[in-house]
Amino acid sequence: MNAVDFAEIERKYDVDAASVLPPLQDLPGVTWVDAPIEQSLDAVYYDTADLTLAAHRITLRRRTGGDDAGWHLKLPSGVEGRGPDERREVHEPLGSDPELVPAGLQQRVRVLVRDQVLVPVVRLRNQRIVHVLRGETGAVLAEVCDDSVRADRLAPGPLSQDWREWEIELVEGTPALLDAVADAFAAGGVSRAGYPSKLGRALGDRLPANAPAAPPAPTRSSTTGALLLAYLDTQMRALVRQDPLVRRDDAEAVHQMRVATRRMRSVLASYRDLLPGGLATALGDELQWIARVLGATRDNEILHHNLARLLSSEPAKLVVGQVGKRLDAYFTADLTAAQVYADVALDSPRYFRLLDALDALIADPPFTALAKKPARSVAPSIISRDADRLRKAVRGARKVPQGPDHDAALHEVRKIAKRLRYSTESALPLSPKRAARLVASARLVQDILGEHHDSVVAKGVLLKLGMQAYIENENSFTYGRLHATEQFRGAHLESRFRSAWKSFPKSAL
Give residue-wise pLDDT tens across range 34-47.
999 999 999 999 99
Instruction: Provide the total of helices (H) and of strands (E) in the chain, helices listed first.
Output: 13, 10
Q: Residue 15: which H helix or E strand, with range?
A: strand 4-15
| pLDDT recorded at residue 334 | 85
| pLDDT recorded at residue 298 | 84
Could you give all domains of the chain from N- to C-terminal order, each with its CATH number?
4-206 (2.40.320.10), 224-502 (1.40.20.10)
Dihedral angle over CA of 91, 95, 100, 104, nearest 10: -40
| pLDDT recorded at residue 86 | 84
Residue 60 and residue 72 in contact, taking contact as beta carbons nearer than 8 Å: yes
Distance CA 426, CA 428 (A): 6
**CA proximity to 76, closest of 240, 312, 319, 239:** 240
| pLDDT recorded at residue 177 | 96
175-228: pLDDT as tens digits: 999 999 999 999 999 999 998 899 999 999 999 998 888 999 999 999 999 999
The residues with which 122 forms a beta bridge, in sequence order, are 45, 153
220 CB-near residues (< 8 Å, 6+ apart): 375, 376, 429, 430
Distance CA 389, CA 373 (A): 24
Residue 5 and residue 88 in contact, taking contact as beta carbons nearer than 8 Å: yes
Residue 278, by phi and psi: left (phi above 0), alpha (psi -120 to 50) or beta? Answer: left
Strands (E), 77-214: 86-92, 119-134, 140-153, 159-170, 191-192
Distance CA 196, CA 86 (A): 11
Dihedral angle over CA of 175, 180, 184, 187, nearest 10: 100
Q: Residue 12: which H helix or E strand, with range?
A: strand 4-15
Residue 102 and residue 85 in contact, taking contact as beta carbons nearer than 8 Å: no
Residue 271 and residue 224 in contact, taking contact as beta carbons nearer than 8 Å: yes
Q: Residue 351: which H helix or E strand, with range?
A: helix 349-363
Strands (E), 189-318: 191-192
Residue 268 and residue 283 in contact, taking contact as beta carbons nearer than 8 Å: yes
For residue 103, which amino acid is it?
Answer: A
**How confident is the chain (509 residues) per 10-residue block, as mean pLDDT?**
74 95 96 97 96 95 95 80 74 92 96 96 98 96 98 92 96 95 95 92 93 91 97 97 93 94 98 96 97 90 94 96 94 88 95 98 96 97 97 98 97 98 96 96 98 97 96 96 97 98 90
The residues with which 128 forms a beta bridge, in sequence order, are 39, 147
Q: Which pTM value belongs to this model?
A: 0.90
| pLDDT recorded at residue 1 | 44
| pLDDT recorded at residue 45 | 97
Q: What three-state secondary structure class fits 69? A: coil
| pLDDT recorded at residue 2 | 59
Distance CA 239, CA 251 (A): 14
Distance CA 125, CA 163 (A): 11
Distance CA 343, CA 345 (A): 6
Distance CA 177, CA 173 (A): 6
Distance CA 425, CA 434 (A): 11
- The sign of the dihedral angle between the CA atoms of 327, 330, 334, 335 is positive
Strands (E), 29-106: 32-33, 37-47, 59-64, 70-76, 86-92
| pLDDT recorded at residue 347 | 96
